[in-house]
Every structure is written in structure tokens, then in C-alpha cells.
């Protein structure tokens, strides 16, 4: 096994528990990165040669090493992989009664580069790093054994794979292809068309947020922006909203959302329409439409550091347009899945979006990713979802 030594004073972050080593932290004169096989195992050492961690390497990536173990006598292998997958499953079984959840949340479950979503006996797997790709077959075997999966879909087409010099592909590796993924969430049924699904299909991370907003919707007129497959809006409709208008730019997603409304016998309350959310908000305002509750859950506007300024403007614009559609005393749920946008950043955009002449914004609830998306205490990067429910007075 090759060793990589860190430069002087570059070991503090790894010592504190962080799981990434960046290429500029490695002493490449003593231990060159060039020539190492992407995904191959390495040991990470201090400048004096003291063992810090086992990791896998990729010389093509800015994140050159991802820590897999901190015990010198426990390098990452199939046995360790199985134990970690079992630990992750036990956590979900403790928290959820039904088999619909994110089973593996990458670094949050100490399995960097691996994401697994469970839809009953069907699993959707995403591998984003060369190191985890080396264990592809073992991952499939263990997942099938632990869950009794009848179908496993490798959705390995994330753009981040390009940074790892990995090919993009989708493949059913266990069982026959499944056209629709079935979910039960908050006593509602949802169907996710496999091929139109974003990322790994369903956004389990907002399950608790969707449950929280139901406390504020009884008898209310609701606008659900960036609805995707109707999750927020249908939770609101089920909780007693008088009407729900849902907006999404994807025609196929809107079709699926309306089908989900019929499935739950809520199509008399819930209607999804195809439109750009910003243009829809402007049109609704010009038509003097107003709502008691607006749900604003956009895609990540900040994907890279260079996108931060433009992304902040997008969050600001969306919150401003959403709040001016609220009736007096109206409720807004505003969320962000941009890891680079902190909770305080989001609150600032909400404050700036509060209409002139209002007394202000009352904060009623703080939102974050659900229990099946655990946060690594030493890696703030694993906490990416934030949100708040507020009342405009």
C-alpha cells in the first residue's frame, strides 16, 4: 500500500476527524501523487511519517484522498464495507417503520462516495468516486444480502463522476428494470417514474419538513413552487388545505405529480401546472392572486463557490417574489439544498424579501435534512439542507 505524507501543519483537520485530504496538502516531493491508480488504497501520514488514516486516492481530483478508516490495523475492505452498511441499516430500522428511506448518506455514514436510497425491495445506488467504484460488485452483493433486494439500479450518471474521471452510466444489476418506484411517506403514496427521477429519484431529505408544514395549512390556500412530484403540496392537501396550486418547469414531473394526486384521491384539491417558477410568481402577482401559504423549495442555485454571488441573487429574488404573493399573516416555507448557503444566509434572503410596510418576519420553525441523512460532526459539508418556516406580518 502506498503512503502519502502531508505537509507540515496540514494534518490538523484530519486529526480533528475530517475525511478529505486536498491535493495541495500533500508533500508530493516525498510522496508523489502522479502515477497512483485512481481508487487505490493509501495510508495518510504526518510529515514525520506517523499514521493518520487509511484512505483511497484519486490524483485527478482536488479531493485527492477520502478517509476510509482511522485504525492502522483496519484498512477498508469487503468486511469493513459490510459492517458499515449494516450499521447504516440498523440506524434506519430504529427510526423508520417502513422501508422507504436513504440507506447510505456517503460521508455521513462513513462510506464516502456512496449513496443508497431504498424503495421497499428496490434499491437505487449512486457511486461518485473511483475508490467506491472499485467496490461496486461487493456493494451490490452486500446490499442484496442485507435487504433481500429484488432489484438494484446503479444510477451512476452524476456530473461529479467527471471530476473523478469515471464513466457515466445507468444499469440494472439485480432483477428486472422497474418503471416506477413506489413510496409511502407520511401516510401518503407516491410513484416515481424511474427514468425521470432526479438524482436517486426521491428527495427523502425533506420528509420531516413536509410533515412540519402540515401544522400550518388547514383550511389554507397553498402555492407549492418547484413541486417536482408533488410531495410538499400533497402533504399539505392531505392535511386539510383548501386548495393547492403546484408549479414545476418539467412537464413530465407535473404529469407524475398530478398522477400522485389521483393516487391519493386529492386531485380535487391539488393541481400541478408546468411553468418556470419565477415567471409563474410574476404572472400570479400581476393577476392579483394571493395565497395563505407559499412553499419555496428550489434546486441548488449554488453548486460551486464561483456560483455564490449569482446564487444568492436567485435565492433573494425567489423569496421576494414568493412573499409578495402572501395574504396578510401568511406563512412561507423557504428552503435551500445548496451546501454553500448557510442557514443565516437563507434567513438574510428571507428578511430582505419581506415586503415593504410589513412589521416583519416571524420565524416559526427551523428545517434541516431528515434523520436518514446523518451529519458527520467533523464535516460541515455533510449538512447541506436548511430551511425555515416564517410568518409575514
Active site residues: 337
SS3 assignment, position 148: coil
> What is the phi-psi region of residue 17: left when phi exceeds 0, alpha when psi lies from -120 to 50, beta otherwise?
left
3-state secondary structure of 169: strand
Q: How far is CA 45 from CA 52, 54, 58, 384, in A?
A: 5, 9, 16, 29
Provide the CB-side half-sphere exposure for 357 (13 A, CA).
4
Q: Is 23 exposed, middle or buried (0-12, 13-18, 19+ CB in 10 A)?
A: middle
CA pair distance 152, 392, nearest whole angstrom: 45
Question: For residue 286, what are the contacts with CB-CB under 8 A and spacing of at least 6?
Answer: none
What is the C-alpha R_g of the chain?
23
Amino acid at each position: 500500500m502506498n503512503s502519502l505524507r502531508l505537509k507540515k501543519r496540514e494534518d490538523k483537520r484530519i486529526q480533528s476527524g475530517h475525511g478529505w485530504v486536498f491535493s495541495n496538502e500533500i508533500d508530493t516531493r516525498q510522496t508523489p501523487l502522479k502515477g497512483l491508480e485512481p481508487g487505490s488504497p493509501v495510508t495518510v501520514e504526518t510529515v514525520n511519517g506517523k499514521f493518520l488514516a487509511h484512505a483511497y486516492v484519486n490524483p485527478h481530483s482536488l479531493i485527492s484522498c477520502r478517509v476510509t478508516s482511522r485504525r492502522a490495523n483496519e484498512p477498508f475492505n469487503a468486511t469493513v464495507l459490510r459492517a458499515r452498511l449494516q450499521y447504516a441499516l440498523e440506524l434506519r430500522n430504529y427510526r423508520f417503520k417502513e422501508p422507504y428511506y436513504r440507506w447510505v448518506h456517503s460521508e455521513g455514514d462513513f462510506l464516502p462516495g456512496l449513496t443508497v436510497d431504498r424503495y421497499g425491495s428496490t434499491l437505487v445506488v449512486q457511486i461518485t468516486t473511483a475508490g467506491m467504484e472499485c467496490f461496486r460488485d461487493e456493494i451490490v452483493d452486500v446490499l442484496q444480502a442485507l435487504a433481500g433486494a429484488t432489484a438494484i439500479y446503479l444510477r451512476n450518471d452524476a456530473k461529479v463522476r467527471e471530476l473523478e474521471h469515471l464513466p457515466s452510466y445507468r444499469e440494472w444489476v439485480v432483477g428486472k428494470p422497474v418503471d416506477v418506484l413506489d413510496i409511502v411517506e407520511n401516510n401518503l403514496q407516491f410513484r416515481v417514474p424511474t427514468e425521470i427521477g432526479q438524482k436517486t429519484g426521491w428527495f427523502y431529505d425533506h420528509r420531516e419538513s413536509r410533515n412540519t408544514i402540515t401544522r400550518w395549512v388547514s383550511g389554507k390556500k397553498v402555492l407549492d413552487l418547484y413541486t417536482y412530484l408533488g410531495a410538499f403540496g400533497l402533504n399539505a392537501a392531505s392535511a386539510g388545505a383548501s386548495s393547492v396550486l403546484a408549479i414545476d418547469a418539467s412537464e413530465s414531473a407535473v404529469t407524475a405529480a398530478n398522477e400522485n394526486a389521483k393516487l391519493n384521491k386529492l386531485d380535487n384539491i391539488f393541481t400541478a401546472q408546468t411553468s418556470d417558477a419565477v415567471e409563474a410568481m410574476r404572472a400570479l402577482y400581476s393577476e392579483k392572486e394571493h395565497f395563505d401559504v407559499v412553499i419555496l423549495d428550489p434546486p441548488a442555485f449554488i453548486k460551486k463557490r464561483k456560483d455564490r454571488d449569482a446564487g444568492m441573487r436567485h435565492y433573494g429574488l425567489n423569496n421576494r417574489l414568493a412573499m409578495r404573493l402572501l395574504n396578510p399573516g401568511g406563512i412561507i416555507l423557504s428552503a435551500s439544498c445548496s451546501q454553500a448557503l448557510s442557514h443565516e444566509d437563507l434567513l438574510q434572503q428571507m428578511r430582505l424579501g419581506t415586503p415593504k410596510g410589513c412589521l416583519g418576519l416571524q420565524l416559526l420553525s427551523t428545517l434541516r435534512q431528515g434523520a436518514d441523512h446523518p451529519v458527520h460532526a467533523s464535516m460541515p459539508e455533510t449538512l447541506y439542507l436548511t430551511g425555515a418556516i416564517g410568518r409575514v406580518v
